[in-house]
Amino acid sequence: MTASPLVFLASRNAKKLEEMDRILAPLVPGVRVVGLDDLADLGIATYDEPVEYEPTFAGNALLKARAGFAATGLVSVADDSGLCVDALNGMPGVLSARWSGPPKSDARNNELLLAQLADVPDERRGGHFRCAVAVVHAGGELVVEGRMDGRIRRAVAGSGGFGYDVLFEADDHPGVTTAELSREDKDAISHRGRALRELAPLLAAVLG
C-alpha cells in the first residue's frame, strides 16, 4: 500500500491544521497534513519555532517554512496571516496574533481592536484579511497569497473560526461575521482558502 503523502504545517494551531487539511483534501488526494505536535509520532525531533521578525506576511511565512524543512526534511508549508484595518493604516497586520501583547489571546486582541475603533464611523470600518502561504521543499520554494475584503463589526458574534473572525463581516457574505458562517461558506471566500486553492496544484506536483 502506498503511504499517504505528508505535508508538514509548521504550526501548533489545531484549527489551522484542521482547516488546511479540510481544504487540501479534495484538491490533493490522499494528502496528510501534520503539525509540530505530530513530529514525535513520526520519529522526528521537535524544534523551536523561529521568531517572526519579518515585516511582511510572505517574509514570515517563508521564515517558518524554511525552518520546518530544515528540521524535518518534509515538504513544509507555513502561513502568516492577519487583519489589516483601513482606519489603523493597515494595522494590526503582521502583528495581528499578538496585537494586545503576551500571552497571545484572541479575546484580548478583539477587545483592543474594538476599543481602538470605538469612535470610527461605520463607513470607515473597512479592512481585509490577508494570507501568505509558503512551501519549501528539496526542489525550491514558493509563496502564494489570498485576500478577503470586508468590514469590522461593533460587537463580537459567532462561535466558529478563530482570531478576529467574530468581528469581521466579509463583503461576500454581508450581515454575518465569518465566525457565523459554515465551514464550507467560509472556506469558499476566505483569504486562506483562496491561497490554498491556488497552492493545491503546485503542491500536488511537488508531492508527485
Would you say 53 is a known binding-site residue? Answer: no
The annotation status of 96 as a binding-site residue, yes or no, is no
Which residues have C-beta within 8 Å of that of residue 57, sequence separation ≥ 6? 80, 81, 82, 93, 94, 130, 131, 132, 145
Query: Which residue, among 77, 65, 72, has the nearest Cα to 28 in the 3D structure?
Result: 77
Residue 191 annotated in ligand binding: yes
Residue 134 is given by DSSP the state E
Q: Catalytic residue among 21, 80, 106, 171, which?
A: 80
Is 80 in the active site? Answer: yes
87 is in an annotated binding site: no
Of 166, 136, 4, 157, nearest to 75 (Cα)?
A: 136
162 marked as binding residue = yes
What is the phi/psi pair of residue 15, to 5°?
A: -70, -35
Please report which helix (H) or strand (E) contains residue 126, including its range. strand 126-137
φ, ψ for residue 205, nearest 5 deg? -65, -40
- Report the distance separating Cα 193 and Cα 129, nearest Å: 11
Residue type, 205: A
171 among annotated binding-site residues: no
Q: Does 185 count as an annotated binding residue?
A: no
64 annotated to a ligand binding site: no
CB atoms under 10 Å from CB of 112, counted, come to: 15
| Residue 187 assigned as binding residue | no
Q: What is the number of H-type helices and E-type strands within the chain?
A: 5, 6
Residue 186 annotated as lining a ligand binding site: yes
Catalytic residue set: 80
Known binding residues for substrate: 11-16, 81, 162-165, 186, 191-192
Binding residues: 11-16, 80-81, 162-165, 186, 191-192
Residue list, annotated binding site for Mg(2+): 80
